[in-house]
Amino acid sequence: MSELTAEQEAGADAAKRASKSSFYQAMRILPPPQRQAMFEIYSFCRAVDDIADDPGDRNLRRTQLQQWRLDIDALYDGPAPARLAGLARAVRAFALAREDFLAVIDGMEMDVESDIRAPDLAMLDLYCDRVASAVGRLSVKVFGLDAKNGPELAHHLGRALQLTNILRDLDEDASMGRLYLPREALRDAGIAGSDPHVVLADPGLDRACAPVIARAQNHFDRADAIMNASPRRAVRAPRIMGEAYKGYLRALIARGFAPPRKRIRLGRARLLWIILRYAVI
């Protein structure tokens, strides 16, 4: 009985961590085994993301991320740490790949090593692959997509979501000393330097954001094409994620990027409509 209680508590803790994700409502529509697996994946993501965003000592955070690497290796090589028993079940049930978990940790370490400021496009794409598309590669296996469409969807939808996050969170990231807009876009917009606060006050910011918007829209279009060709049940959750974030992107475009920038939020009614449309209708 005590073991069952411990498992229940661990599952509840994973659900609580996952509830902080923008994708929580999309995860909730899944059948119980898939839902719990997604909660475990996003609990892991939340834990390592919290380390990356902690303003404390970088050496300590490097050590914490390295411990996560060791824990993931132990999960695959056995025995798994007790606190990761739920994640271990998800790994076995859905054949989740070790390298995708490690890629997520590598992405978080990019933020720990130094505050990313105006990366070039190659570095930005690598970052998006690690912190977003790698999570997608884990998720599509849980959703039940096939070996061809699943990784392609993870590639495009992950990048679309992350680029939208970057545009939405410009001011929040700047408060942590970070700026993810690519240096090529800044250069083409006539913006010199990479100081986040200076860049965000520049009148050319809209021009610098335009190519990032175009990239996100292209990835959304590619993701939609893949989902249109996939079994409807397998893409219900990613459809909800994609439609919600397309709403964010449209709102960002309508608002523009000149200061003061009002925080963009998706209304509850709009989110409920998206869930109703893709989960029920």
Element holding 178 (H helix, E strand): none
How many Å apart are CA 198 and CA 43, to the nearest integer?
A: 35
Question: pLDDT category, 269, cuts 50, 70, 90?
Answer: confident
DSSP 246-273: HHHHHHHHHH-SSSS-PPP---HHHHHH
pLDDT by residue (tens digit) across 149-192? Answer: 999 999 999 999 999 999 999 999 999 999 999 999 999 999 99
Lowest mean pLDDT: which of 3-7, 249-253, 265-269? 3-7
Give the residue with greater pLDDT, 253 vs 4.
253
176, HSE (Cβ side, Cα atoms, 13 Å): 17
pLDDT at 8: 58
Q: Is the pLDDT of residue 24 over 90?
A: no
The residue type found at 45 is: C
Q: Is the pLDDT of residue 19 over 70?
A: no
Range 123-140 average pLDDT: 98
pLDDT by residue (tens digit) across 30-48? Answer: 999 999 999 999 999 999 9
pLDDT at 139: 97
pLDDT by residue (tens digit) across 201-237? Answer: 999 999 999 999 999 999 999 999 999 999 999 999 9
pLDDT by residue (tens digit) across 105-123? Answer: 999 999 999 999 999 999 9
pLDDT by residue (tens digit) across 65-80? Answer: 999 999 999 999 988 8
CB 91 within 8 A of CB 151: no
How many Å apart are CA 115 and CA 173, to the nearest integer?
A: 10
Contacts of 276 (CB under 8 A, 6+ apart): none
117: helix, coil or strand?
strand
Give the residue with greater pLDDT, 71 vs 21.
71
Q: Is the pLDDT of residue 9 over 70?
A: no
How many Å apart are CA 60 and CA 200, to the nearest integer?
A: 30
Residue range(s) occupied by CATH 1.10.600.10 in the chain:
115-281
- Full-model pTM: 0.92
CB 143 within 8 A of CB 206: no
CB 94 within 8 A of CB 141: yes
pLDDT by residue (tens digit) across 44-57? Answer: 999 999 999 999 99
How many Å apart are CA 35 and CA 256, to the nearest integer?
A: 36
231: helix, coil or strand?
coil
pLDDT at 15: 65
Q: Is the pLDDT of residue 5 over 60?
A: no
pLDDT at 6: 52
Contacts of 11 (CB under 8 A, 6+ apart): 36, 39, 86
How many Å apart are CA 172 and CA 49, to the nearest integer?
A: 15
CATH, range 115-281: 1.10.600.10
Compute the CA torsion angle 251, 252, 257, 261 (nearest 10 deg). Answer: 70
